[in-house]
């Protein structure tokens, strides 16, 4: 009897998961690449904010990519806010300030004056916004690179669509290793879900490495009030707050030239810590649609992890596991192929073992995100 009940429940999760992937795929395929209209003239004043902690290896490259934008320098500023760096990060930024009047550097350590927080990044962004002269806030990370027409695409979308919040694509730079390829493909899937969901107006997803919002909307939504004790969520939790006020004015910037590229985690420990950090905000979403989707995804992956163990005593359940794996992999591959076209990455069927890794990290990160702690940027966070 219990075998039948287990089989029905897992079969239902499997169908729901595959159906969700195919629905996101359908929404994604409805997107049309955004084009800048002929005769377009830049008009939006931007403040690009980059929180940085111990990023001496990347900050110079990031700052130069932003300052070399094909966008009038009098219409944008770059604010780097240093988060208690223990390396040469602030010194590198200071050396670049000499040649760029629109580059500002703020010390979070001086601003806080010894105050302890659970979310330094949110406070860093909040303080930087207080100094911002632009009408629009754009956030990215200190290890990111972008096309020279990145800001121009933001400006064009703002002028054409009049949104108050814009989510935009992020991609990983691979080094050819199995881990970096896994992260790239996995993250492409998240980006596809983000693009499709935001475009369809179903739920709100974004990534802080590439997003923008109207400064007045940030304050109207109360900024990070009520979410400032949560270690992560400077992007999605804020997006949900703004969406409550402006549900019809959320947009996704679907353009290859708007992609921001960043580095994947160098090892499995760092990767798991990153995903635990992301998972830690799963039950904090006021947009319940995304919570329900995440719950189905987690329960389905948990089922796939324990089924092989149960099948030792009930061999018939192995075939259910095999069928679910086939359906899961087929749905994901059908979506990933299209994502690869946008991000310029060919998906190979030889990567058959990736679903196994995906299942394991989803279960581990989901559990520890709720009940554990993690290390991030040299800090232990709960």
Q: What is the pLDDT of residues 260-311, one digit of tens each?
A: 999 999 898 888 888 888 777 666 667 777 778 888 888 889 888 888 888 8
**What is the mean pLDDT of the segment spanning 314-343?**
90
pTM of the shown model: 0.90
| Residue 233 belongs to some domain of the structure | yes
Same domain? For 23 and 37 the reply is no
325 and 182 in a single domain? The answer is no
Cβ atoms of residues 264 and 179 within 8 Å: yes
> In this predicted model, what pLDDT tens digit does every residue of 309-326 receive, in sequence order?
888 888 888 898 889 999
Is 248 in the same domain as 329? no
Mean pLDDT of the region 76-93: 95
- Same domain? For 74 and 182 the reply is yes
Domain C-terminal end among 233, 256, 283: 283
Percent of the chain with pLDDT over 90: 54
pLDDT reported for residue 10? 82
121 and 208 in a single domain? The answer is yes
Shared-domain flag, residues 184 and 320: no
Q: Are residues 83 and 166 in the same domain?
A: yes
Span 243-250, average pLDDT: 93
Last residue of a domain, one of 262, 283, 304: 283
Domain range for 65 is 33-283
Residue 110 has pLDDT above 80, yes or no: yes
Q: Are residues 277 and 373 in the same domain?
A: no
332, 246: one domain: no
| Shared-domain flag, residues 238 and 92 | yes
**Total domain count, the chain:** 2
User: pLDDT category, 116, cuts 50, 70, 90?
Assistant: low
pLDDT tens-digit readout, 123-141: 899 999 999 999 999 999 9
Query: Which of 34-48, 263-277, 292-306, 342-356 has maximum average pLDDT?
Result: 34-48
pLDDT (mean) for 334-360? 81
Per the domain annotation, does 155 fall within a domain? yes
pLDDT for res 9: 82
**pLDDT at 46 > cutoff 80:** yes
- Shared domain check, 191 and 43: yes
């Amino acid at each position: 009897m219990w075998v039948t009940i287990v089989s029905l429940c897992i079969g239902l999760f499997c169908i729901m998961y595959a159906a969700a992937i195919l629905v996101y795929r359908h929404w994604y395929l409805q997107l049309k690449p955004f084009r800048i209209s002929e005769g377009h003239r830049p008009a939006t004043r931007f403040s690009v904010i980059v929180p940085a902690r111990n990023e001496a290896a990347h900050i110079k490259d990031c700052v130069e990519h932003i300052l070399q934008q094909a966008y009038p320098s009098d219409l944008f500023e770059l604010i780097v806010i240093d988060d208690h760096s223990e390396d040469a990060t602030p010194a590198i930024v200071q050396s670049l300030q000499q040649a760029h009047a629109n580059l500002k550097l703020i010390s979070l350590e001086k601003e806080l004056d010894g105050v302890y927080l659970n979310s330094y990044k949110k406070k860093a962004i909040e303080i930087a916004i207080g100094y911002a002269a632009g009408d629009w806030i754009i956030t990215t990370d200190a290890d990111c690179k972008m096309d020279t027409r990145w800001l121009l695409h933001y400006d064009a979308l703002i002028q054409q669509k009049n949104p108050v919040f814009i989510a935009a694509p992020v991609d990983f730079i691979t080094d050819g290793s199995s881990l970096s390829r896994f992260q790239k493909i996995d993250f492409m899937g998240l980006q596809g879900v983000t693009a499709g969901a935001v475009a369809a107006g179903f739920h709100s997803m974004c990534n802080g490495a590439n997003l923008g919002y109207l400064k007045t909307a940030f304050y109207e939504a109360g900024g990070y009030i009520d979410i400032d004790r949560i270690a992560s969520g400077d992007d999605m939790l804020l997006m949900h707050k703004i969406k409550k006020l402006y549900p019809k004015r959320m947009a996704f910037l679907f353009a290859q030239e708007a992609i921001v590229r960043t580095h994947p985690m160098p090892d499995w420990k760092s990767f798991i810590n990153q995903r635990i950090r992301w998972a830690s905000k799963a039950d904090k979403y006021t947009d319940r649609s995304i919570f329900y989707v995440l719950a189905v995804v987690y329960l389905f992956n948990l089922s796939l992890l324990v089924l092989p163990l149960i099948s030792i005593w009930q061999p018939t359940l192995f075939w259910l596991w095999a069928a679910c794996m086939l359906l899961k992999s087929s749905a994901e591959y059908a979506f990933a192929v299209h994502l690869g076209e946008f991000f310029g990455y060919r998906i190979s069927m030889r990567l058959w073992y990736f679903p196994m890794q995906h299942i394991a990290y989803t279960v581990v990160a989901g559990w520890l995100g709720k009940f554990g702690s993690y290390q991030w940027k040299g800090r232990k966070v709960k």
